[in-house]
Structure 1
Amino acid sequence: MADSTPTPPRRKIWNYTPALPIKTAPYWDWPMKPLKSMKYLLQSWNPMAQRFLFLVVAFVVWTWFSPDLERAQTLSLDWMFEIWLRDLVIIMVVAGGLHLALWKHRTQQDEYRYDMRPMAKGAKIFYFKNQVWDNMFWTLGPALLFATLWESLMWYAFANGWATMISFDSNPVWFIALIVLIPVWAGFHFYWLHRLLHVGKLYTWVHAWHHKNINTGPWSGLAMHPVESFFLFFDTMIFFFLPANPVHVLFLIFHHVIGAPTSHAGFENIKLGKDAKFGLGDFYHQLHHKFFDCNYGTWETPWDEWFKTFHDGTDEGNDLVKERRRKIWSSK
């Protein structure tokens, strides 16, 4: 006789999700889909998209809030401190502002919020037994220091001719092309660094610090072991090999300095007034913090799909992750 016991409903994991299943960029589809790829690219550059914000901030910062390259011909703490102070202000405005608005004052309550769990308090796993204070310590300490270090090294290289500097007037095609390619490069670097940090002792000794944040907030994005934050900003070294403008360097750096706090904010959107909204969170990466061994990269790159670690956010995706874990553990 068949068992008539009803199947219990699945436990609701998320308070909010974007439209599911989530998808990666169509650049890597085969056969190629040039029209679909172009549409995706144009949508990703609309004025209400984060990468447009990163680029605008990069132009503003280079024009008004960066040391002259003549000063950067010699390494000096005075102009390097100016970079540190400027980035400190940016992080405080972005991460601090989002935390105050979304988590402390709850200006939009739980609308667009992924995970309903609060930031951890009284947890021994965090320094000061407080997730937010722990995250602020590692963000405003090592992460800010290494962001300053790598940016300063690039200004020093441009000023002394070790890196080739271009302008829009001298090379307009490459100037624009590089802006389009930088998000892909950022995703490439992030995937392979991140994947390496999930291996053996590198995870235990280094990356596990970041994964203390199962549920994330704006201060979680750059809260990591100093070794990880050192190599996170290492992707700027590509400009020793590619001709570029300081705007390109800042555009790439702000993928981390601004992008990490926003992508870890824990909310899909931030409300602007009654009806408008600004795309904020990264559910792709939120899934990684939740399930650990999936979505190592970004929407922009194909590696997770190619290596079978992609989670599309659906219940079926949850089952695939669990089955993969079962096979790994049974093989051990």
Structure 2
Amino acid sequence: MDLVLNVADHYVLTPYVYPASWPEDGTLRQIISLLVLTNLGAAILYLGLGAISYFLVFDHKLMKHPHFLENQVQREIKYAMTSLPWISLPTVALFFAEVRGYSKLYDAVDESPLGWPGLFLSMISFLFFTDMCIYWIHRFLHHKLIYKFFHKPHHIWKIPTPFASHAFHPVDGFLQGLPYHIYPFFFPLHKVLYLGLYVFVNIWTISIHDGDYRVPSSLISVINGSAHHTDHHLFFDYNYGQYFTLWDRLGGSYRHPSALMGKGPHNLIRKLQAEGKLGDNGGKTKGSVMLKEE
């Protein structure tokens, strides 16, 4: 995060925002700057990537599904944008520790213990480490004593859109994002690679909520895609993983995606349309049922 902070200081904050009496390495200035940059960056990534996915990838026919809520997209965006500032508070504390040099982030490849191969290995270990941690955190959030307080709001979206990707309770959102932030405190990682992985994480989180259920046949049993995660929203106790199906298989929570067996949301929509229970515009007809809340 210090790379982003340095760029912001050089081009914007030092010449135009802060008085000359505030040194760039001052504690209060760094915390304020990180808070602003974290919130701004989170909003840009969420709204920008979410909009691209919503308009270019998301199948809008899914909005005809009986479990799709009234004004759902607006509600997803409102919930996410309300939660993100709260999530940023403990996140900034971790970013501040990074900026102050307490992490194992490094600037140059020659600082890597293994050189260039170390960059590739750190990328792979980042994915497997965070996938493992998120699986257990996510599963913990489904515990009956915890679920209703923190994770239930995210499961209101039975048929999620890309904008549901960040629509979490603040505690839920921070806990599921925590593995990404603690990784560089345990393992060496190049700063530029860390920023790239951070963007990738946001893209992936949006992609598993985008309603595009296509997965290469050779990867269906390995990769946790949108079809897998949609079943998590629909059936609750399955497919907790983030990128891979590994921990779901080890933990006995793997479910083969319904959408890939002809039993997914699109199939239900086509069935209801054939039965005359959905109008041409996706609205209800007499005798149909629309679920409003969980």
Could you say whether these structures have the same fold, taking a TM-score greater than 0.5 normalized by the shorter chain as the test? yes
Residue aligned with 1:184, SS: helix
Residue aligned with 2:166, SS: coil
Does residue 198 (structure 1) correspond to residue 142 (structure 2)? The answer is yes
Select which of 260, 263, 279 maps to 2:208.
263
Equivalent residue letter for 2:33: D
Who is 1:9 aligned against? Answer: none
The 8 Å contact of residues 245 and 254 in structure 2, kept in 1 or not, is answered as no
Does residue 306 (structure 1) correspond to residue 250 (structure 2)? The answer is yes
Does residue 156 (structure 1) correspond to residue 111 (structure 2)? The answer is no
Shift of the 193–255 alpha-carbon distance from structure 1 to 2, 3 Å rule, reads farther
- Distance apart, 1:216 and its partner CA: 0.8
Who is 2:110 aligned against? Answer: 169
Shift of the 284–227 alpha-carbon distance from structure 1 to 2, 3 Å rule, reads same
CA distance in 2, matches of 1:168, 1:240: 18
Does residue 247 (structure 1) correspond to residue 192 (structure 2)? The answer is yes
Shift of the 72–290 alpha-carbon distance from structure 1 to 2, 3 Å rule, reads farther
Select which of 36, 46, 54 maps to 1:81.
36
- Distance apart, 1:210 and its partner CA: 0.7
Percent identical residues:
20
RMSD: 3.7
- Distance apart, 1:204 and its partner CA: 1.6
Who is 2:271 aligned against? Answer: none
User: What stretches of structure 1 of length at least 5 have no aligned partner?
Assistant: 1-57, 123-129, 270-278, 320-332
Shift of the 153–246 alpha-carbon distance from structure 1 to 2, 3 Å rule, reads farther
CA distance in 1, matches of 2:33, 2:253: 45
CA distance in 2, matches of 1:238, 1:64: 20
**Structural mapping, 1:113-192, within 5 Å:** 117=65, 120-122=68-70, 130-143=71-84, 145-147=86-88, 149-150=90-91, 152-166=92-106, 167-171=108-112, 172=115, 173-192=117-136
Shift of the 148–252 alpha-carbon distance from structure 1 to 2, 3 Å rule, reads farther
Per the normalisation by structure 2, the TM-score is: 0.67
Who is 2:287 aligned against? Answer: none
CA distance in 1, matches of 2:199, 2:259: 34
Equivalent residue letter for 1:305: R
CA distance in 1, matches of 2:259, 2:46: 35
Residues matched between the structures, number: 237
The 8 Å contact of residues 194 and 296 in structure 1, kept in 2 or not, is answered as yes
CA distance in 2, matches of 1:298, 1:156: 26
- Distance apart, 1:318 and its partner CA: 11
Who is 1:275 aligned against? Answer: none
Who is 1:95 aligned against? Answer: 50
The 8 Å contact of residues 238 and 248 in structure 2, kept in 1 or not, is answered as yes
The 8 Å contact of residues 213 and 259 in structure 2, kept in 1 or not, is answered as no
Shift of the 255–229 alpha-carbon distance from structure 1 to 2, 3 Å rule, reads farther
CA distance in 1, matches of 2:185, 2:43: 26
Shift of the 266–66 alpha-carbon distance from structure 1 to 2, 3 Å rule, reads farther
User: What stretches of structure 2 of length at least 5 have no aligned partner?
Assistant: 11-22, 215-222, 264-294
Shift of the 97–64 alpha-carbon distance from structure 1 to 2, 3 Å rule, reads farther
Per the normalisation by structure 1, the TM-score is: 0.60
Who is 2:159 aligned against? Answer: 215
Who is 1:22 aligned against? Answer: none
CA distance in 1, matches of 2:260, 2:53: 32
- Distance apart, 1:315 and its partner CA: 9.4
CA distance in 2, matches of 1:183, 1:145: 25
Equivalent residue letter for 1:250: L
Who is 1:292 aligned against? Answer: 236
